[in-house]
Structures are given as structure tokens and as C-alpha cells.
Amino acid sequence: MKSNEEQLEENHIYEPPTLRRLIVQRFEGEICEGQFHEKGVAFFEGGHTYKGEFLCNTPKGEGTYTQPDGSFYSGDVCNGIRHGLGTYMCAKSSVSYKGQWHQGKRHGKGTVYYNQSKTSWYKGYWVKNCKEGWGVRCYNSGNIYFGEWKSNRRHGQGTMRWQKLRQQYAGEWIDGVQHGHGTHVWILQRSNWGHYSQSNQYTGDFVQGQRHGRGSFYYAGGAVYEGEWKSNKKHGKGKFTFKDGRVFEGEFEQDQMITFSLHKNSAPNLLCGGSSLSISELFTFDMGLNIERLLDMFPERRRNTELQQVEFVALQKNTELRSIYSFYRGLGQTHTSLLSHLQLLRLLKDCKIHHHGISLPQVEYLIKEDETAENQFPFTPLQLHRFISCLVIVAFHTYNKDMTSAANLLAACFSKLLTDDIIPNAKNVKGFLFRHPSLSVTSMSYMERCWQIYKTYCSVSTTDMTYRHLLWMFKDLQLLDNNLTLKKLLELITAESADCNNLSSCLNLEITFLEAFEVLVGCADMQHVSEDLEGSLHLSRCNTQEKTSKRLLANRNCSPQSTGKSITAAEYSLAHNLDKQHIVIEESEFEDHTEEEDKDKKTKRIKSQNCEIEVCAQKIHQFLNHVFFPAFEHYQSVNSCIKEKRNSFHENQTSSHLEVSRARTQGDLETVQQT
């Protein structure tokens, strides 16, 4: 169902009559053989006018058609019909459309503004006056949707943001409502939309706009419910994990737990979270580690021991693990309660896990809980126990061949990973995405759009995306130039590789969204910024250098009043080192001067750094908004046109073959009859 806001705005789009249906009263212009020809002005009944090109009495070419109420169309015309590129403005409602037309209808790529202030608009693809294909719809309320459309309704993959409600849904739509698999987020604290700060989040199945089927609800406080839903309520089998790690499983009905199991303990209060437990009590119930697939590799009699030993290692390194978890969940100024999937991958890459012969896409495959899911959503939240489970899985697949003689294999691998890789290397953040908090926020504001493009390329390819595919993408989009050369792009790609010299092995590596996105952000650094901003940076540097030079010159020319001697900083330093007793100077005056100079230098250094950060942020905006996204849209548009022509050609070929076949059959029948 359309909202009232949508319905009112759609009704304001008035379709003017075609020029062929209007009767010409008067014509001013060129006439050839008694017919309107080339440029002229036609005046129609009712006050309509057309000024532009004619061919054989028919408006054809470029022209402007004006209605009596002031509404007008300006652009390409074919046989009296809007056809090609053109702009239509409705004087009564201030609705305007600029884009492609086909046989008098909005068809192709175009933009509609539904009001004069241009706060309500749609930019995307059209099919016969209907929004169809990919497009962005911004509503007057501030709500925005970007994704797929069909017959003027949200249909397919898309993301909707409700600005005032501070909610977002990303996933599947059918006939304008959430239907299929998706993620709904309720923002509890104000934050950038590129990430979720202090939020409740549901990921799972939707039916007619409601949580229905299987799904997981992540509470802002850290608790998680995983299980079945019915009409927006927990209903059926489910598991509730408290933020302290306790796990309860049982049947739910209308949001209430009706059966439960916690080693025969009493039923918990789901709202208050129950009482806290000591570390010794942690061994009396499930810590919540999800490593069942690993345990299945061991004989049944050993599984419980393996699990307990892993839990023991986790408790031994509890302080370090919590510290690392807290550090990485705060990257990008997110201040979220839970670590995201993207931040986990950054940790693993910082710790050089990919140098052990296991790539990040392989890690993604090993740790994902839903084997049917194609790609992990970057902002999928991970609780602490899930984070530890992922490290255990990575540890086993990294070191199991080296630790075959260990009594408790899982614990030995986990301990080695923590000791050799995680703890020594964690918090030393590399890459382009999280290098500075401000730049992280800038980059992450474009992450949703880049994620959609990444998924598009992954869906087209029969295999997972590799660095070689990334190179082909840059070539297809024609992004390489004098600033961003192939050599520089290869340097970006191999920057964190285990063997930078083996280019072939690097290019054939499968990559995650994190790795692809960091290459894009790195490419932005190689762009030229706008002249105004570059001039501002240059002026700031010049002013800083000039002031510093003047201060140094003044220091050389001034004489300390207390001694009557002229002394430079260099002379003072030299004399001070040779013989401290021979220098007479007012210490307090020198200290005040030094403190003032240090403070001045620090202020200038901060200003210079802020200016550098501003330039880097501008480069990211410029590259993604004005280079990468337009190039991708153009590439998609060209491919779509080629596909349409190819389909049309095949249809014509099929039709021709059928006609030939019919003709041959008819000929055979005639021959038989004659015989």
C-alpha cells in the first residue's frame, strides 16, 4: 500500500496531450512545399504553443511545448510526441521531470521533483511512466528509500530510512512492504547512518511488513534472541542469550517464554536480566560458544573435554579478549554495544591471519552461521561469546595441522592464535578505512551504496570476487587515469599481502567487502581536490611557515634585557652543553617563552592536521560521488541497453525462423496437394 504522502505526490503528475491531437490555428516559420519545415512556432487551439523544429508538418527534433497554464515541455520530440531527452514542468503543482522519454512516456533514467523546494524527489529508472528498476526516493518528511522498484512500488532489494522515527530497514520488498529476508534497525542514540550506535536490530524473515518466520533480535544492551517469530512477536522455538553470556532455550508464545532450560534452574526474568554469576559458576552452564561444527569432528567422548578446555583458555585471556573486543567495536567513532562483522575482519587482517594461508573470504565462510547466506552484511553485530567462537574457529583452521600431537587440540590452537597473533598485533590498526575517526565516518556514510555495488558484481560472477575482478571493474568503469594508474592500484591491492612480489597469487585471491572498500577509499587519496580547497590548504601552510620564520628571525635579533647579551637558541644550546656555569639567563623568562612557542607550534600543528583531514575527506566525497558512482550508473545503463537490444534481436530472429518454418510447411503442403 502506498502512503498518503506518496499517493498525493503521484497524483500531481499531470500528463499533457500529444501535439498530434491538437489543431493548429496559426504557424510562424519556414514552409517548404506547403508544409511546416525546420524551425517555427505553431499556435494551437486552446492556447497551446510549440516552438522548435518541424518536419513535414510534424514537430520533430528539439522544441518547447507550452500549455495555457504555463506548464511546459522542453526537449526532444518525434512525430509530435515527447521522445528522447527532455524536461517537463507542471505550473500548477510545481512537479518537474527531467530525463529520458519514450513515445510520450517517462522511460529510461530520469528525475522527478514533486515540490518547488525540491525536498521530495525520485531519481532512477522508469518504464512507461512507472518507477521500475533501481532508484532513490526522498520524501518530504525526510524519509528516503534507495533500491529496486516495480510498477511504482518498492519491490526487490532496497533500503528505507525513517528519519524522524530513527529506523532503517534493508532487505527484500514485495509490493511496497517488507517481505522476505531483511534487517530492521531502531536507533536509540543519534549517530551517522553509516553505522548503528546503541541500537536494537532484527535480522531475519519478514511477511507483509512484520517479523515472521526465523530471525535474530539484537538488543542495544547486548542481549540476543534467536528463533521463531509470528506477527512481530517471539513465537515458537527460540534461544535467549543475556549480555552476561547466560543462555536460555525453550518455547515462546506471544513474546513470553513458556518452557526453558538452564540446567534445571528456575525461569529467568527476561526483562531485568536475572542475577549475575561468578566466574566459577560459568562452568555450570553453556557459555554460548557456537563451535558445534568443530566439535563434530571429534569423537563424542572427547567433545565435552575439548569444549571445557577452550572455555578455560577464554577465561584465562578474558581481560585481553574484552579489551580487544571493546577497542575494535569503537572503530570509526561508532561507540556501539556490539562488534560488527566488518570490525572483526579488520582485527583479523591487523593480526595478519591472512598470512597463514587462509584468506578472509575463507574465514567468512567458516564462521558464518547460515550456510545458505551468500555474503555477510558488514554491520552484522557479534556478541562477545560469538566473537570468541569465531576466533576459536579461525584458530583451528589455521593451526590444527601444526598441533596434531596436542592433548586438547582446540584449546591448543586457540591459545597459540591468541599468544602468537591476536594479542601482539591487535590495536595496531592498518588500512584506509579506520585510519582516522573523522575519515572513517566520511567513508562509512557511503558504505551502504558500495555494499550494493559489491553484491551486484558478486552476483554477476560465477565465482567469488577476486582482486583480478576488482581490476577488471576499474577498467570497465574507466577509472584509471594519470592520477590513478595501474601501478598505483596494484600497490594498493598488495599493500597488506603476505607476498607483495608474487603479483599473480595476489590477484587471484578472493576478497571480502572490507578489502574491496578499502581499495576504493585508498583510490580517493590519489585524486586531485577542488581548486578552492587546495588553495585553502596551501594558504594555511604558507601562513604557518611565514609566522614560524618571523618568530625565529625575531628571536635572533632580540637581546635578553637581564644580561645585555645577544644569544640564539643554537648558541644557547651549545654553550649550555659546554659549560652550564658560564651562561647567565633569566630562566623564568626563557621558560615562559618556550611554553608559549610550544603551545603556538602545537596549535599550528593541529590546524595543519585538521586541514589535511578536511582535504582527505573532500577527496573521498569527490571520488565516490563524482567519479565512482556515476561511472557505475553509466556502465549499468549501457549494459541494460545492450541487453535489451540483444533480447530484441533474438526475438526478431526467433520470429523470422518461425515465419520461414511456416512458409516451408505451407510450401510442402502445396506440393503434396499438387502431387
* CATH number of residue 88's parent domain: 2.20.110.10
Buried/exposed code over 122-160 (b: 16+ C-beta within 10 A; e: otherwise): bbbbbbebbbbbbbbbbbeeebbbbbbbbebbbbbbbbb
Residue 199's CATH number: 2.20.110
Beta-carbon count within 10 A of 339 CB: 26
Judge whether residue 172 has pLDDT over 80: yes
Average model confidence (pLDDT) for the chain? 77
Portion of the chain with pLDDT greater than 70, in percent: 71
Q: Are residues 311 and 229 in the same domain?
A: no
Which segment of 111-115, 193-197, 253-257, 325-329 scores lowest on mean pLDDT?
A: 193-197
Q: Are residues 169 and 215 in the same domain?
A: yes
- Judged on CB neighbours under 10 Å (0-12, 13-18, 19+), 180 is middle
Judge whether residue 413 has pLDDT over 50: yes
Q: Which residues pair with 638 in a beta bridge?
A: none
Residue that is written with C-alpha cell 595501474 in the block? 486
**Do 118 and 94 touch, CB atoms closer than 8 A?**
no
Q: Are residues 471 and 617 in the same domain?
A: yes
Write down which residue in 142, 167, 190 finishes a domain. Answer: 142
Residue 407 has a pLDDT of: 85
Q: Are residues 442 and 550 in the same domain?
A: yes
Query: Could you please report the per-residue DSSP string of 226-250?
Result: EEEEETTEEEEEEEEE-TTS-EEEE
**Do 321 and 289 touch, CB atoms closer than 8 A?**
no
Residue of higher predicted confidence among 15 and 612: 612
Average pLDDT over residues 564-591: 41
The reply to whether 419 falls in a domain is yes
Residue of higher predicted confidence among 144 and 36: 144
The reply to whether 585 falls in a domain is no
The reply to whether 199 falls in a domain is yes
The reply to whether 588 falls in a domain is no
Residue 656 has a pLDDT of: 66
Residue 410 has a pLDDT of: 93
The reply to whether 586 falls in a domain is no
Cα(521)–Cα(430) distance, integer angstroms:
13
Cα(312)–Cα(656) distance, integer angstroms:
74
Residue 269 has a pLDDT of: 42
Write down which residue in 142, 164, 186 finishes a domain. Answer: 142
Residue 550 has a pLDDT of: 46
The reply to whether 661 falls in a domain is no
Cα(112)–Cα(130) distance, integer angstroms:
12
The reply to whether 651 falls in a domain is no
Residue 279 has a pLDDT of: 31
Q: Are residues 305 and 212 in the same domain?
A: no
Write down which residue in 392, 408, 430 finishes a domain. Answer: 430
> If you count them, how many residues does the chain have?
675
Q: Are residues 413 and 447 in the same domain?
A: no
205 pLDDT band, cuts 50/70/90, is very high
Q: Are residues 26 and 51 in the same domain?
A: yes
Judge whether residue 125 has pLDDT over 60: yes
C-alpha cell at 614: 578536511
Residue 8 has a pLDDT of: 53
Q: Residue 18 is part of which domain span?
A: 1-142
Q: Are residues 134 and 216 in the same domain?
A: no
Residue 37 has a pLDDT of: 72
Judge whether residue 576 has pLDDT over 60: no
The reply to whether 579 falls in a domain is no
Judge whether residue 607 has pLDDT over 90: no
Residue of higher predicted confidence among 429 and 440: 429
C-alpha cell at 167: 529506523
Q: Are residues 465 and 610 in the same domain?
A: yes
Q: Which of 293-307, 539-553, 555-569 has the highest mean pLDDT?
A: 293-307
Q: Which of 89-103, 202-216, 240-254, 457-471 has the highest mean pLDDT?
A: 202-216
Q: Specify the number of domains making up the chain.
A: 4
Cα(406)–Cα(399) distance, integer angstroms:
11
Residue 460 has a pLDDT of: 65
CB under 8 Å to 454, separation ≥6 — which residues?
375, 465, 513, 516, 517
Q: Are residues 46 and 12 in the same domain?
A: yes
- SS3 letters for 506-561? HHCCECCHHHHHHHHHHHHCCCCCCHHHHHHHHHHHHHHHHHHHHHHHHHHHCCCC
Residue 395 has a pLDDT of: 94
Q: Using one digit for the tens of pLDDT, what is the confidence trace for 251-290? A: 888 887 775 444 334 444 443 333 333 333 333 334 678 8
Q: Are residues 422 and 472 in the same domain?
A: no
CB under 8 Å to 616, separation ≥6 — which residues?
436, 439, 524, 525
Residue 164 has a pLDDT of: 87
Portion of the chain with pLDDT greater than 90, in percent: 26
Residue 569 has a pLDDT of: 37
Q: Are residues 214 and 350 in the same domain?
A: no
